[in-house]
Structure 1
Amino acid sequence: MVIRYILFFALVSLSAQAQHSYLFPILPGENALLAGTFAELRPQHFHAGMDIKTQQREGLSVKCIERGYVSKIIVSRTGYGNAVFVKHTTGETSVYAHLQQFNPRITQYLRQQQLAQGTTEIMVNPKANLLPLQRGEELGLSGNSGGSMGPHLHFEIRNAQGLNVDPLNYSFKEVQDDIPPVMEALAIRTLSGDSRIQGRFGRMEYSLVREESPKPSVHLYRMRDTLRAIGEIGLELLAYDQSNGSSSKNGISCLEIHVDGRELHYHQLSQIPEAFTDDINIHTDYATYYETGKFFQRCYKADGNDRVPIYSTGSGKLRITNKAVHQVTLTIWDHFQNKTQLHLIVKGEATEGNSPDPNLRWSVEENWLVIKGSLPDSLNVYLPKGQQTLTAVYPGCYLWDLRKGLPDSLDAGTKRIRFNFVGTAYPQQQGKVLNDRLTLEWKPGSLYDTLYVMLQEKDGKLLVGEPTTPLKGKITIHYQPKSPISLYEKTALYREDKQSVFVGGHWKDGQLHAETRFFGTYYLATDTLAPTITPVSISSRQLRFKIRDNLSGIKSWKTRIGTETVILDYDEKNNLLFSEIREENHPFRGELKLEITDNSGNKATFGRPNLN
């Protein structure tokens, strides 16, 4: 794989240099520091470009990398924020996002479109060559708009086929990196009912030991002890890269596994189809990310991971037989071919697990219901059509194959565990399941893999599936409250998270219908309070307001001064609504009327009789 990787990198780099010697988009010719790299693992998406630091401030000049024309403009409170897409004569497109503002020509065109459509948040596609740009021409200023968590420029290059590609393929000399990636931890997971790791079923994490390396561009790691395992297992790696002068933890470019000198698996993060960027949730261990915030990327192809073209053929799953001994090498590279390797020995051995954990717990792992704790030697599982007796696969661990039936409950000695399984969902089939007044519906392509669906209404909450399970597409929740709702038009569905998330939905015949892309805990809430508007500064040259909403969130806003419709930009992170600064010879004049609407339809207004 190393030869293939270096050859691929060389071909891409030579091709890029020969055809497209692009200008660096910000402070060209000066050393650049990166806050993020291509295909870096991010919440709900692979990172589509690279993030260039802007000296912890906004307002740096952003240059067009080559002659072309503006093909798309986005203004959004989330995601890209303020963004410009430029189509080049090569057929490629460059993207510049999180801008503070656009250049005057782009701004003038944008304001016309916003006024015509009556909205600030907008995505428009100007006609070809309507807004031409020259190499090195300023197209805007760097900022912190949209989903940005700090000032920087998000920069992308998309090839003629529309695929996101690594901008570093274009050999920008401003970025330097001679630091090998860092391996933080290795996780190993059992992938079949007869698999064991150190005699146990489930997922185990291991810290790694750094070793001395004869080459500065290569880092070496090892596990502390020989790994004893049996059956089919999968490896997961927690790792990051760094570039010169930057403390940011960036993504790696390539990963491969060799077993006894033969390649078992590789994946190369060189290009990602934008339509499938949320497949990061199956590329990584989503449950671990959900619970800890750590991105362990799988070193094998999980079932249902069939859309992103970054993997070698084969599953990458490792099959260990009894008494076999294997030398396993895991190698990762960054874009600059700095390399890090992990060496481990795996011995096929079905050792017995340690003493059972006294805490009783259960989970669903692939097709298995797993019960662990200090329990009797056998348990009774109660199914809709009878019961089955389970014996421990090792002390303190019991497995039930859910393909044999979905249990209602389980007798765990002095405690009865009740489950809320309502049916099995298959990824390529449409279907629905229900539990009393709560129904869950899915379409072909909504799921990555077969799921054993749990559904329950409890204490005013709707428990829909397991939040640690990712979805491939949207599902629909249908819910009929037990009692009529007094204000249907103000009542919507919300999802519990660190902060409540407005989901919405629509009512028909007393039943709520809402689409979502997440399993989790949902609830109904009624929002009757209007947003609040607090003036910060009001003059004939600029308007600034603080706006807030207590529950459903800000949906839209509109402003008129006299007979003029005025476009106000919205900085959601700072709850700030503001206008551009008017020239002295073109001030705001007339009566000010501002109206804010939240997602439940509540409206707030603010006015001033006359601006001079």
Structure 2
Amino acid sequence: MWKTKNYLILKLNKQLTLFILCTLTSLGLAAQPSPQAGFFTFPIKPGVRNYLSGSMGEIRSNHFHGGLDIKTDQREGLPVYAAADGYISRVKQSTYGYGNIIYITHLNGLVTTYAHLQSFNLPLAEFMLKKQYEKKTFELEIFPEPDKFPIKRGDVIGLSGNTGGSGGPHLHFEIRDEKDRLYNPLKYKFTEILDTTPPDIYTLGILPLNIHARISNEFARAEFAAKKVGSTYTLADTVKAHGLLGLELQTNDRLDGAANKNGTQEVTLFVNGKAIYQHHIEQVPFEISRQVSQHINYNMFKRYGRTFQKAFVDYGNDLPLYRANYQQGRFAVKPDSIYEVKLVAKDSYDNSSTLQFIIKGQKPVFTAMQAKAVKQPKLTTEILGNVLKISASDTSSTPQNVELFIKGKAMVLVPSYIRNAASVSLYDLRGGLPDSIRSCGVSQAFSFKQMVPPAQETEVKTDFATIQFGKESLYDTLYFEAKQEADVYTLGDYFTPLHKAIKVTITPPVTYKDKTKAAVYFLGTGRGRGYEGGTWNGNSITFTTRNMGKFKVMEDVKAPTIKLLGKSPNQIRFKIGDDLSGISSFNAWVNGQWLLMKYEHKQALIYSEKLDKSIPLSGEVILKVKDVAGNEAVFTTKI
């Protein structure tokens, strides 16, 4: 039916075809065929063997990778071909993100995107250049009418490049629908990509999900290396555990003839022969792609750069990727019971690898062994879910109780087990937030302020800050800690993700002469400083952030730097930079006429492009560069 309907449409004239297409798409009625080989033309070197550096569903820092990264022979300038008939519906030029990108809407309502382009093909390039000069800006996004740029399958629409946030020359190619849901392009079985290689499985992670759970008699996340025996992966030994558990899998996929580690599209968990969980990364709604933070072990990803996909649906995760049992993939292990566990990882071409192992139920036991020699008592703490885990290293030969104080009242915690030289005590934080703990003659204070539930608006007030959480700020319950040390504010834990922004008001202990130059910066964990901004009201500043961690108000009083790299009648080039708030704007004039400057932030490079290539640059050149704080640098020269 779909082929017949579109055959008739294609018989109409161009204007009527585009009118019908636009109408059907806007109404959401355009047909969307099932993925089939040959439906789309491959956008790079069609008909020739190609290779990928990235695939659909790979884990990025705050989203799922939405398409294919197609290798371009480690160079720029390869022709990029339109995947099917349609029209250019959106074009954007930016120094960040996708860089130069084209969106083509097709007769079936699907949209293909072509990102990080070096340049657009004519007549689109001329149209964009004129618009940039009209609006006097490099950053530009337009939505052409359907009859403005009609496209035929196989048309060259531009040249491949490395613009925007690209880490090297390649083409980023996506397939979306009219609701911006991202589809896996490999389901169209491009003959240019070969994949008969099954995924690799590296490591199994097991999480205790309640206070009674144990792995190897310990309340802690445990890792087990997978080893390949024949065509199947297994573990070195039986896993002994107890209580409610959640599994995680570290796995990657490789395509034939390529060393790149790509993402796996599907993981299925079987326990005693029954499938209790599956995720299939096939259609990811763009607007909630950030929930990847709950799909993976975010802590491990941020601390160590290791990607573990959860084999259970965690709280606050609304991604439409899952099929799971009533416990959402979690399962309880009972003493003296045997559980045959199987995890199957599958790629886009249905190549699969299997990890099989045994979990044996083991009732937790307390062994009062003598601790190893400890020179000095020490307390360490960790929060796992709702549980505060306290490890007390002591010089005595017998384990000591822990005193926990809530609003000055003491509670005695008896150790649950001994691990190496430390006795471990567990406390459910839902019973109240502790002020401090004491054991072995050592005390430790906490900076807990409030338990913040998810899915509701909550305001936390401290002596030094007011923090407002929205309904969608959190994925799960947060045991919020905050403290102020001099002019540095620690708000929550850097390794805990936020879904949407929180609003914070602080009153810095420092007075600033010019508050327009003072703003909030996120300090992260290293030496980097990320501009958060803020609005002043008296001596207080309010800002929004999607990060938790350390913040500081800092002044940016230095103007950006400008360095001339070269000038000629054809082009002028500069290197620009800023030491704190970042580049906000740049404008150049030659003899009073505005000149377009293109910006490549990875190289800190701006360079001119003339509207009329036949007219040489000649006369006085003025370049003005501003940073976000409003400091301005001016450079003048002559050509």
User: 2:507 maps to which residue?
Assistant: 480
Does the alignment pair 1:136 with 2:154?
Answer: yes
Query: Does the residue aligned with 1:21 lie in a helix, a strand or coil?
Result: coil
Worse-matched range after superposition: 393-402 or 278-287: 393-402
TM-score after normalising by structure 1: 0.93
Aligned-residue offset at 1:13: 12
Instruction: Tell me, in whole angstroms, the C-alpha distance in 2 between the residues paired with 1:292 and 1:543.
Output: 43
- Is the Cα–Cα contact under 8 Å of residues 188 and 205 in structure 1 kept in the other structure? yes
- Residues 549/512 of structure 1: CA separation in 2 closer, same or farther (3 Å cut): same
User: 1:336 maps to which residue?
Assistant: 349
Instruction: Tell me, in whole angstroms, the C-alpha distance in 2 between the residues paired with 1:353 and 1:186.
Output: 26
Instruction: Tell me, in whole angstroms, the C-alpha distance in 2 between the residues paired with 1:308 and 1:415.
Output: 48
Aligned-residue offset at 1:15: 2.7
Instruction: Tell me, in whole angstroms, the C-alpha distance in 1 between the residues paired with 2:513 and 2:546.
Output: 28
1:231 to 216, 240, 243: 243
1:471 to 498, 506, 512: 498
Worse-matched range after superposition: 408-417 or 310-319: 310-319
Worse-matched range after superposition: 157-166 or 565-574: 157-166
| Cα distance per residue 1:421-465 (max 9 Å; x no partner) | 111111111111122122211111111011011111113211010
- Is the Cα–Cα contact under 8 Å of residues 434 and 455 in structure 1 kept in the other structure? no
Aligned-residue offset at 1:313: 4.7
User: 1:279 maps to which residue?
Assistant: 291
Does the alignment pair 1:321 with 2:334?
Answer: yes
2:54 to 36, 60, 64: 36
Aligned-residue offset at 1:22: 1.1
User: 1:578 maps to which residue?
Assistant: 607
Aligned-residue offset at 1:600: 0.9
- Is the Cα–Cα contact under 8 Å of residues 59 and 65 in structure 2 kept in the other structure? yes
Instruction: Tell me, in whole angstroms, the C-alpha distance in 2 between the residues paired with 1:371 and 1:510.
Output: 40
Query: Does the residue aligned with 2:301 lie in a helix, a strand or coil?
Result: helix
Aligned-residue offset at 1:206: 1.2
Does the alignment pair 1:267 with 2:290?
Answer: no
Query: Does the residue aligned with 1:529 lie in a helix, a strand or coil?
Result: coil
User: 2:28 maps to which residue?
Assistant: none
Instruction: Tell me, in whole angstroms, the C-alpha distance in 1 between the residues paired with 2:511 and 2:457.
Output: 30
User: 2:103 maps to which residue?
Assistant: 85
| Cα distance per residue 1:516-570 (max 9 Å; x no partner) | 1111111111111001110111112111110111111111111122243222111
User: 2:385 maps to which residue?
Assistant: 366
Aligned-residue offset at 1:398: 1.2
User: 2:35 maps to which residue?
Assistant: 16
Instruction: Tell me, in whole angstroms, the C-alpha distance in 1 between the residues paired with 2:379 and 2:74.
Output: 49
User: 1:4 maps to which residue?
Assistant: none
Worse-matched range after superposition: 51-60 or 389-398: 389-398
User: 2:417 maps to which residue?
Assistant: 394
Instruction: Tell me, in whole angstroms, the C-alpha distance in 2 between the residues paired with 1:449 and 1:143.
Output: 41
- Counterpart of 2:534, as a letter, is G
- Is the Cα–Cα contact under 8 Å of residues 77 and 121 in structure 1 kept in the other structure? yes
- Counterpart of 1:168, as a letter, is L
Instruction: Tell me, in whole angstroms, the C-alpha distance in 2 between the residues paired with 1:584 and 1:464.
Output: 54
Instruction: Tell me, in whole angstroms, the C-alpha distance in 2 between the residues paired with 1:608 and 1:482.
Output: 44
User: 1:295 maps to which residue?
Assistant: 307
| Cα distance per residue 1:161-192 (max 9 Å; x no partner) | 43100001112100001111001111100000
Instruction: Tell me, in whole angstroms, the C-alpha distance in 2 between the residues paired with 1:469 and 1:516.
Output: 13
User: 1:94 maps to which residue?
Assistant: 112
Instruction: Tell me, in whole angstroms, the C-alpha distance in 2 between the residues paired with 1:581 and 1:62.
Output: 24
- Is the Cα–Cα contact under 8 Å of residues 328 and 344 in structure 1 kept in the other structure? yes
Aligned-residue offset at 1:113: 2.8
Aligned-residue offset at 1:116: 3.5
| Cα distance per residue 1:194-243 (max 9 Å; x no partner) | 00000000201111111112xxxxxx110101000000001001110000
Which 5+ residue runs of structure 1 have no aligned equivalent?
1-11, 214-219
Instruction: Tell me, in whole angstroms, the C-alpha distance in 2 between the residues paired with 1:247 and 1:331.
Output: 22
| Cα distance per residue 1:130-151 (max 9 Å; x no partner) | 1222211111111111111111
- CA RMSD of the aligned region, Å? 1.9
- Is the Cα–Cα contact under 8 Å of residues 13 and 171 in structure 1 kept in the other structure? no
Worse-matched range after superposition: 52-61 or 346-355: 346-355
User: 1:9 maps to which residue?
Assistant: none
| Cα distance per residue 1:21-69 (max 9 Å; x no partner) | 2111011111010001001111111000010001111111111111211
- Is the Cα–Cα contact under 8 Å of residues 446 and 474 in structure 1 kept in the other structure? yes
Query: Does the residue aligned with 1:234 lie in a helix, a strand or coil?
Result: strand
Aligned-residue offset at 1:251: 0.4
Query: Does the residue aligned with 2:41 lie in a helix, a strand or coil?
Result: coil
Instruction: Tell me, in whole angstroms, the C-alpha distance in 1 between the residues paired with 2:162 and 2:401.
Output: 59
- Counterpart of 1:99, as a letter, is L
Instruction: Tell me, in whole angstroms, the C-alpha distance in 2 between the residues paired with 1:37 and 1:600.
Output: 39
- Is the Cα–Cα contact under 8 Å of residues 400 and 439 in structure 2 kept in the other structure? no
Aligned-residue offset at 1:582: 7.1
Query: Does the residue aligned with 2:226 lie in a helix, a strand or coil?
Result: strand
Query: Does the residue aligned with 1:360 lie in a helix, a strand or coil?
Result: strand
Worse-matched range after superposition: 99-108 or 598-607: 99-108
2:270 to 258, 263, 266: 258
Instruction: Tell me, in whole angstroms, the C-alpha distance in 1 between the residues paired with 2:322 and 2:609.
Output: 44
- Is the Cα–Cα contact under 8 Å of residues 624 and 635 in structure 2 kept in the other structure? yes
- Counterpart of 1:398, as a letter, is S
Equivalences for residues 2-81 of structure 1 within 5 A? 15-17=34-36, 21-81=39-99
- Is the Cα–Cα contact under 8 Å of residues 582 and 588 in structure 1 kept in the other structure? no
- Residues 590/31 of structure 1: CA separation in 2 closer, same or farther (3 Å cut): same
1:381 to 392, 404, 415: 404
User: 1:549 maps to which residue?
Assistant: 578
Which 5+ residue runs of structure 2 have no aligned equivalent?
1-30
Query: Does the residue aligned with 1:111 lie in a helix, a strand or coil?
Result: helix
* Matched positions, count: 592
- Residues 82/188 of structure 1: CA separation in 2 closer, same or farther (3 Å cut): same
Instruction: Tell me, in whole angstroms, the C-alpha distance in 2 between the residues paired with 1:259 and 1:56.
Output: 45
Instruction: Tell me, in whole angstroms, the C-alpha distance in 2 between the residues paired with 1:103 and 1:351.
Output: 68
- Residues 268/309 of structure 1: CA separation in 2 closer, same or farther (3 Å cut): closer
User: 1:535 maps to which residue?
Assistant: 564
Instruction: Tell me, in whole angstroms, the C-alpha distance in 1 between the residues paired with 2:220 and 2:139.
Output: 46
TM-score after normalising by structure 2: 0.89
Instruction: Tell me, in whole angstroms, the C-alpha distance in 2 between the residues paired with 1:108 and 1:193.
Output: 65
Aligned-residue offset at 1:353: 7.7
Query: Does the residue aligned with 2:570 lie in a helix, a strand or coil?
Result: coil
User: 1:507 maps to which residue?
Assistant: 536
- Residues 177/14 of structure 1: CA separation in 2 closer, same or farther (3 Å cut): farther
Instruction: Tell me, in whole angstroms, the C-alpha distance in 1 between the residues paired with 2:608 and 2:520.
Output: 33
Instruction: Tell me, in whole angstroms, the C-alpha distance in 2 between the residues paired with 1:420 and 1:112.
Output: 57
User: 2:18 maps to which residue?
Assistant: none
Query: Does the residue aligned with 1:291 lie in a helix, a strand or coil?
Result: helix
Query: Does the residue aligned with 1:601 lie in a helix, a strand or coil?
Result: coil
1:167 to 166, 172, 185: 185
